[in-house]
């Protein structure tokens, strides 16, 4: 058994696709339409570097999956490793995305810890929290068994 992908429900498929594809760099794998079967529209995206996949799902009124939308609904956050947290956060803020104010003790932990991680959070078009983080190691040193 292995984790293949995770899916999130979105309220505007094209707006979310633009955010994840154009702004966060995920690549379009496929689109699908299950509306005739009582489902909805979906887009499968993948990260070129890690191979992680994200499915965006939109459901029309009347679908059994089209429940009232509550941001997150148990989803805590989606993490993206970046080379420069401040640069990426500033870029997304300039584009109108909300940056979440988190305590410095969380966003810039003291150096010397296991990961030496710096992080920030922004909200996607449906107010899901997106974590942007950087580690002290090289971006090319991706190890799927670590963050």
pLDDT in tens, 57-87: 999 988 878 877 777 676 778 888 888 899 9
The tens digit of pLDDT for each residue in 6-55 reads 889 999 999 999 999 999 999 999 999 988 877 889 999 999 988 899 99
Residue given tokens 């870029």 in the structure block? 91
Q: For domain 75-147, give the CATH number.
A: 3.10.180.10
Helix (H) or strand (E) holding 119: strand 118-123
Q: Spell out the domain ranges in the chain.
A: 1-61, 75-147
Distance CA 73, CA 145 (A): 27
The confidence band for 146, taking pLDDT boundaries of 50, 70 and 90, is: low
* CB contact at 8 A, 56 and 20: yes
**Comparing 69 with 147, which gets the higher pLDDT?**
69
Cα gap 134→116, rounded to integer Å: 8
Q: Is the pLDDT of residue 106 over 90?
A: no
Residues 1-61, CATH architecture: Roll (3.10)
pLDDT of residue 62: 84
Query: Tokens 């890690």 map to which residue?
Result: 50
């Amino acid at each position: 058994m292995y984790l293949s992908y995770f899916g999130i429900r979105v309220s505007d498929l094209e707006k979310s696709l633009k955010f994840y594809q154009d702004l966060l760099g995920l690549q379009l794998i496929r689109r699908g339409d299950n509306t005739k079967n009582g489902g909805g529209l979906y887009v499968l995206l993948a990260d070129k570097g890690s191979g992680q996949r994200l499915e965006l799902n939109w459901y029309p009124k009347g679908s059994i999956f089209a429940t009232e939308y509550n941001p997150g609904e148990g989803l805590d956050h989606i993490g993206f490793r970046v080379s420069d947290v401040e640069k990426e956060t500033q870029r997304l803020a300039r584009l109108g995305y909300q940056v979440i104010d988190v305590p410095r003790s969380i966003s810039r932990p003291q150096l010397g810890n296991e990961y030496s991680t710096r992080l920030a959070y922004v909200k996607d078009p449906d107010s899901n929290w997106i974590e942007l983080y950087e580690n002290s190691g090289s971006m090319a040193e991706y190890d799927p068994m670590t963050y």
